[in-house]
Amino acid sequence: MKSIQQLNEQIITCRKCERLVTFREKIASEKRKQFMDWTYWGKPVIGYGHDNAKLLIVGLAPAAHGGNRTGRVFTGDKSADFLLMCLHTAGMANQPNSDHRDDGLNIYDGYMTPVLKCVPPGDKPTAEELRTCFEYFTLEMALLTHVSVILTLGKIAHDNILKYYQAEYSIKKSDYPFGHFKEYILPDKKVLISSYHPSPRNVNTKRLTKEMMLELFTTIKDRL
Ligand code: SF4
């Protein structure tokens, strides 16, 4: 595999996980009432951003009526609204919104990707589905050669980064516990920063606030 573009062309056609293929297509055909005039994407959702990104933002999976509808990661749902508002306020994105694939969003020096490319029922993937899609994630990691800072949004994203490094280096997962604004130096000198996921559950309960994210993004900018 020579480029992210080639990899993404392959991922978009993937039908390896039967349960997820059935679910993503069911959501795409049934739709939500407020999006009835949309043609849902209903396929795997690939990464978005710059091939030579220095910052890699890793999420869990596309949302049923977010990425699975719009076809772009962190686009068209409440998590995306919060994340982009914070990135824009921190001066790391050109606009405070991420609504659809052609809205011109630019995450400066950044690339965002989900560890699982298809929406899972109840936002809960099986271990086997994560394992199957991890092959693509590993290839993405290898192709994004300019990355110096990795931001993981949520524990599953964090665990997948550690799984990648466990395969490449002999690290102990227990040396890199997940938490909000935990910062680590990885064996290849990249900086790993973990964050609570910007989901409505965390944002509405104030477990994750705009101030917390801006503090974290200030540190990321310093490290880049
Ligand atoms: S989750 Fe990944 S491996 Fe499974 S069908 Fe989607 S793209 Fe393919």
Which residue lies with its CA nearest to atom 2 of ligand 1? 133
Taking only the tens place, the pLDDT of each residue in 148-199 is 999 999 999 999 999 999 998 989 999 999 999 999 999 999 999 999 999 9
Q: Check pLDDT > 80 for residue 25.
A: yes
Atom of ligand 1 nearest to the CA of 15: 5
How many angstroms does the Cα of residue 125 sit away from the middle of ligand 1? 11
Taking only the tens place, the pLDDT of each residue in 89-99 is 999 999 999 99
For 91-95, the CB contacts below 8 A with 24+ separation are 91/221, 92/55, 92/217, 92/220, 92/221
Q: Is the CB of 117 under 6 A from ligand 1?
A: yes
How many angstroms does the Cα of residue 162 sit away from the middle of ligand 1? 20
Any idea where the domains of the chain sit in the sequence? Answer: 4-223
d(CA 147, CA 56): 6
Confidence (pLDDT) at 146: 97
Angle at alpha carbon of residue 60, lines to 11 and 184, rounded to 5°: 115
Confidence (pLDDT) at 2: 82
How many angstroms does the Cα of residue 218 sit away from the middle of ligand 1? 34
Taking only the tens place, the pLDDT of each residue in 186-207 is 999 999 999 999 999 999 999 9
Q: Is the CB of 132 under 6 A from ligand 1?
A: yes
pTM higher than 0.85: yes
Taking only the tens place, the pLDDT of each residue in 54-66 is 999 999 999 999 9
Q: Is the CB of 118 under 6 A from ligand 1?
A: yes
Confidence (pLDDT) at 71: 98
Rounded percentage of the chain residues whose pLDDT exceeds 90:
98
CATH C-level class of 4-223: alpha beta
Taking only the tens place, the pLDDT of each residue in 63-77 is 999 999 999 999 999
Confidence (pLDDT) at 149: 98
| Mean pLDDT for the chain overall | 97
Atom of ligand 1 nearest to the CA of 24: 6
How many angstroms does the Cα of residue 15 sit away from the middle of ligand 1? 6
Q: Check pLDDT > 90 for residue 217.
A: yes
